[in-house]
Chain A
Amino acid sequence: MTQDFHYTLEDGIAIIIWDQPHRSMNVMTSEAFATLDEMMTHALDDAHVRGIILTSGKADFAAGMDLAEVAQMKTQGPRAIFDAVMKMHAILRRIERAGMDPATRQGGKPVAAVLPGTGLGIGLELPLACHRIFVKDREDARIGLPEIKVGLFPGGGGTTRLVRKLGLMAAAPVLLEGRIMTPKAAQKAGLIDEVCADPMQAARDWIAQAAPDDLVKPWDKPGWSMPGGAPYSAQGFMTFAGASAMINARTKGAYMAPKALISAVYEGALVPFDLALKIEARWFTHVVCHPQSGAMINTLFVNKSALEKGARRPDLPAQPTAHLGIIGAGMMGAGIALGAARAGITVTLLDLDAARTEQGKGYCAGFYDKAIKRGTATPAQKADVLDRITTTTDMDTLCRCDMVIEAVFEDPEIKANVLAQAARILPDMAVLATNTSSLPITGLAQACKDPARFVGIHFFSPAETMPLVEIITTARTDPATVARAFDLARQMRKTPIIVSDARFFYANRCITPYLNEGLRLLEEGASPALIENAAVMLGMPLGPLQLIDEVSLDLAAGIAKATRAAQGADYADHTAEAVVGAMIAQDRHGRKSGAGFYQYDADGKRQALWPGLGQLFARRADPPLEEVQNRLLLIQTLEAVRAFEAGVIHDIREADVGAILGWGFAPWSGGPFSWIDMVGVDRVVAMTEDLAVRCGPRFGVPPLLARMKADGRRFYQSGGTPVAH
């Protein structure tokens, strides 16, 4: 028996307390499940027990399954996974039937789940198998089933129970989108039963008066039918037909887990409850065995968590920033200020004049006004955050900051000038950072008094919401400086990756070839819609043409010009640059100007691809979809490999996490390196060689891949640990 659960008996109520040792948050393991089963069985068998409360000894109930264990499960093969899942179902079902006579449905003991806070994944599926769910009224608690976000679906009976409880229509956002919510919202959505200040007492009171019928789930009562209709009822037919369509429309067919989930729901809806659980287990086994779930768990959970916990941070004491200075109150500076202030950091926001600083602060206020309107923030929160942001035009006021981030216009001379001024004022121990998306920072370091305390930070736009931060080091950046930048990013709840200074760093280095490949395809005469659809069907958030419209064609032209200047004779993107130039010559600069590859209405809403593209770039026969997709995916992947070979990025975990969080690289793949493992390096090399013949040397096979192919190596071991290269 493990120590995950404790058992006490109080006034005839067995209280089973989940309190996993050495963890701040409970996560479920198969061993812990066995312990729970023993205690539940004991409570059900003990004549002195008239009711059972399952709760947590921690501030929250549970965060879910131990995903590392799930990731390991797949190595055991489908039979072992299926058997383990069925064992779990049997345990949950025993809790649900609670000793009652299945024929008369009499004689069961009431089982209440009491959640002192967050209950996610199995932390909700387990309560769903109990008879009534009581949750403490906490705004910061989260209830939901987020498994879909790591390529799984709720396989602990949550899928089957929730659909039978709410119907497919109401359960869909919870299951298919992994929507998580506050206890109050979860109660409104029908996921849980009671939200109150003292859920333990409420549970005791309920147990005292629970009638036998209260313990019988609707699906265990005679005459039950699926809420909203089973698939072949008139109403259900439309819902189920629509569900498949919605999944296709939203995921573009790129993700396995939603397909498996909806099949479990559909097939389960046609059979009795226990058989539905078995079907759920078969589909769950299927997604656990699928490469996508392993890739997504490793990158988006295991490795992302490891990086956030500091796997790549210099091993130095914590260096939290209490007071952050930001120079430049434009959209970037204001976004950083907002993100920092929300994290409880005191912010001084500086710009040349009051009009600019007020505009920056207005940006922060506007963010909260929108959130208040949506009901996701309160006026008090707005006031609290804005109070932490002080504006100034006086550089001297930055002298009390632990760290100053320069976020002025992307011009090396202006930046150098501002940094030199700031360096003179900053205290010796403070860190000076430059926020830039593409400019190499080594030159800027010269402007600083102490290059060891200088670092680049690339916040993605909009800085208040984008989850990734690139921390850019020069040869002279001190580890303590890196640690402070890292800790600031963590304070702001962002995921930091550490990259070496080089043109475009990591993320923009890899996304630029993707954009250029889209432009080449357009110039070659492919249908613009094919380029865009091929990209989103890969799982890219935006097609290349739309993305260029978003960032503006002027910026694209500027990047091309700068790249051409830097690369000289090696520059190979003339085609893409010419396409951008041709668009700008038509006075089409992107979304902000109301005209780009797309047309926009007066409110800036995207309407349709610009019909003039057909005249500007003569249409020829479309290449096959697969070729367009291979080009768009490989061009990013190869660049990521080259960045790794060149030592710009040092750890494939950072490369994969950064690719997904930074530029939306097909999340189902787990990132470019994970994707190469998934497809197999042999095949990736063959695809690359094929494209090199047809499209040119930009599809050259990186030496690292050639070596790996020769040696038969992979990037990751199973379980997500990188193989050394």
Chain B
Amino acid sequence: MIDAFIYDACRSPRGRGRADGALHEVTALSLSAQMLDALKARNTLPPDALEDVIWGNVTQIGEQGGCLARSAVMASGFADSVPGLSINRFCASGLEAVNLAANQIRAGSGSAYIAGGVEMMSRVAMGSDGAAVAVDPTLALGARIVPQGISADLIATEYGFDRAQCDAWAAQSQHRAHAAWQDKRFDRAIVPVYDQNGLVILDRDEHMRPDTTADTLAALTPAFQTIGEQMPGFDAVARLRYPHLERISHVHHAGNSSGIVDGAAALLLGTREFGAAHGLTPRARIRASAKIGCDPTIMLTGPVPVTQKLLREQGMDIADIDLFEVNEAFSAVVLLFLQAFGLGPERVNVNGGAIAMGHPLGATGAIILGTLLDELERRDLHTGLATLCVASGMGVATLIERV
């Protein structure tokens, strides 16, 4: 089989996903095009070097609608001959874009792709594209659909993570992210966001709160208790699927859940021959990828079964993997991953995660894969796995190894 290699990975800094966030003035089109142009410039690619651009993006409406991928190509320095494909696998869209590109390369369809994603959460509100799964009663009623926060609290309840454990993980994420920035570990990946005059709009992650401690988090009010226990009563819906539970323990809040931010990320993928032709050195091989569906009520457990599937298919053991990036959608998602595989915190999200730096939905999968690769190189380790939980009950994982 043909191997698919990662040649480069970049990301934008993440801006606070609010009207006062630094990237609120930037269009999804511009930020996407800047990522494409950065990879083109950093790797001195000719305009027609790509087979396709696969672009993850969750809320595909308004400025993010209408196949943003193609628009981004047109707005970038790439040629009209490069098409563009917008995809949506919710929070794993950015990683799924990479997997789709890699698998096409491996199958011999095209020699080079850019894969990544974008989400301007301050500009295009999450959920504003609608979703039958939440409101069509033929689905929502029988599938016992609840909001993600309730699902995260359900994980904490079902698998026994208390508020203190969730807060401790969140505080650690903040400290690790801060330390990583201090140590300039993100420098290689970060592409500052510029205006049309070359003025910098943002060059560092804006969402972090390095002063956070478990004590400051302890003061925050649970975010999902009211919709769970009172109106409209989502806890009762969850109990229809988990009837052995008397109540849901509401442990998640703004401080131990992923931040709402603006951001984008992209990876350059290609065959060995592509690299040789353009004078590029492969950084890592995409060894395998996997995706699964799981119970849509608890929804966010996907990283565990998708990793199990991937390990099974590769004949590997969890101990064979040096580093993990498990998207910090909510603290309990990561804690469940640690519990399921008997992992300590020392190999997981070592540079912090989305709780500290934010989770620009369509981009995050590409961000954490790049972060994983940078850290494998820094530590001179070999194998890494990135995985995300996904809305509606799915999971996606990608296994890379350095070459």
Q: Please report A residues at the B interface, Cβ cutoff 8 Å.
A: 231-232, 234, 237, 240-250, 252-253, 259, 262-263, 266, 527-530, 532-534, 537, 608-609, 622, 625
Contacts and interface: CB of A to CB of B under 8 A. Distances in A.
A237 B135 contact: yes
27 contacts: A231-B130, A232-B135, A234-B128, A237-B127, A242-B232, A243-B137, A243-B232, A244-B141, A245-B236, A246-B231, A246-B233, A247-B137, A249-B234, A249-B237, A253-B141, A253-B144, A253-B240, A262-B137, A262-B141, A263-B137, A266-B136, A528-B246, A529-B243, A529-B245, A533-B244, A533-B245, A609-B246
Q: For the complex, would chain B's binding face be called helix, strand, loop or mixed by DSSP majority?
A: loop
B239 A533 contact: yes
A57 B140 CA distance: 46
Interface residues of B, number: 30
B135 A240 contact: yes
A168 to B, nearest CB: 11
Contacts of B141: 244, 247-248, 253, 259, 262
B247 interface: yes
Contacts of A534: 243
Interface in B221-240: 231-237, 239-240
Given A528-B246, A530-B244, 5 more contacts: A232-B135, A244-B145, A253-B142, A527-B244, A533-B244
Contacts of B245: 529, 533
Contacts of A246: 231-233
Q: For the complex, would chain A's binding face be called helix, strand, loop or mixed by DSSP majority?
A: helix
Contacts of A530: 243-244
A590 B247 CA distance: 21
Contacts of B247: 608
Interface in B130-173: 130, 134-138, 140-142, 144-147
Contacts of A243: 137, 232
A244 B135 contact: yes
Complex A-B, nearest 5 residue pairs according to Cβ-Cβ distance, in ascending order = A249-B236, A533-B243, A249-B233, A242-B232, A529-B246
A240 B245 CA distance: 26
B232 A622 contact: no
Given A248-B144, A248-B236, A259 B137 contact: yes
Contacts of B128: 234
Nearest to A262: B137
B319 to A, nearest CB: 30
A715 B138 CA distance: 32
B223 to A, nearest CB: 15
A240 B232 CA distance: 10
A625 B237 CA distance: 15
Nearest to A629: B243
Contacts of B142: 253
A532 B130 CA distance: 36
A622 B145 CA distance: 24
Given A237-B127, A237-B130, A245 B146 contact: yes
B137 A249 contact: no
A632 to B, nearest CB: 12
A608 B125 CA distance: 38
Contacts of A263: 136-138
Contacts of B236: 245, 248-250, 252
A366 B236 CA distance: 34
B10 to A, nearest CB: 34
Contacts of B246: 528-529, 532-533, 608-609
B244 A622 contact: yes
Contacts of B134: 237, 240-241
Interface in B353-400: none
A250 B235 CA distance: 11
A232 to B, nearest CB: 4
Q: Which of A234, A240, A248, A608 has the most CB of B within 10 A?
A: A248
A231 B135 contact: yes
B245 to A, nearest CB: 6
Contact of B240 (A234, A252, A259): A252
Interface in B114-134: 125, 127-128, 130, 134
A244 B136 CA distance: 8
A244 B297 CA distance: 14
B135 A537 contact: no
A242 B144 CA distance: 12
Contacts of B127: 237
A213 to B, nearest CB: 33
B244 A266 contact: no
A392 to B, nearest CB: 49
Contacts of A625: 243
A259 B234 CA distance: 16
A249 B232 contact: yes
Contacts of A252: 236, 240
Nearest to A260: B137
Nearest to A598: B246
A252 B241 CA distance: 10
B232 A245 contact: yes
Contacts of A231: 130, 135-136
A532 B240 CA distance: 11
Nearest to B139: A244
Nearest to A535: B243
Contacts of A242: 231-232
Contacts of A609: 246
Interface in B244-275: 244-247
A262 B140 CA distance: 11
Nearest to B136: A266
B135 A241 contact: yes
Contact of B234 (A245, A247, A528): A245
A606 B319 CA distance: 48
Q: Which of B137, B233, B240, B244 has the most CB of A within 10 A?
A: B137
Contact of A244 (B140, B231, B239): B140
A527 B157 CA distance: 15
Nearest to A236: B135
Contacts of B240: 248, 252-253, 533, 537
A263 B142 CA distance: 12
A463 to B, nearest CB: 31
Nearest to B235: A249
A619 to B, nearest CB: 10
A248 B145 CA distance: 10
Contacts of B233: 245-246, 249-250
B224 to A, nearest CB: 12
Contacts of A533: 239-240, 243-246
Contacts of A608: 246-247
B243 A266 contact: no
B194 to A, nearest CB: 32
A535 to B, nearest CB: 10
A622 B147 CA distance: 27
A598 to B, nearest CB: 10
Contacts of B234: 245, 249
Contacts of A532: 246
Nearest to A533: B243
A243 B233 CA distance: 10
B61 to A, nearest CB: 10
Contacts of A247: 137, 141
Contacts of A527: 244
Contacts of A259: 137-138, 141
Contact of B243 (A232, A241, A537): A537
A231 B131 CA distance: 10
A232 B137 contact: no
A243 B136 CA distance: 10
A243 B234 CA distance: 10
A244 B147 CA distance: 12
A237 B142 CA distance: 18
B249 to A, nearest CB: 11
A534 B231 CA distance: 23
Contacts of B231: 242, 246
Nearest to A232: B130
A81 B243 CA distance: 37
Nearest to B236: A249
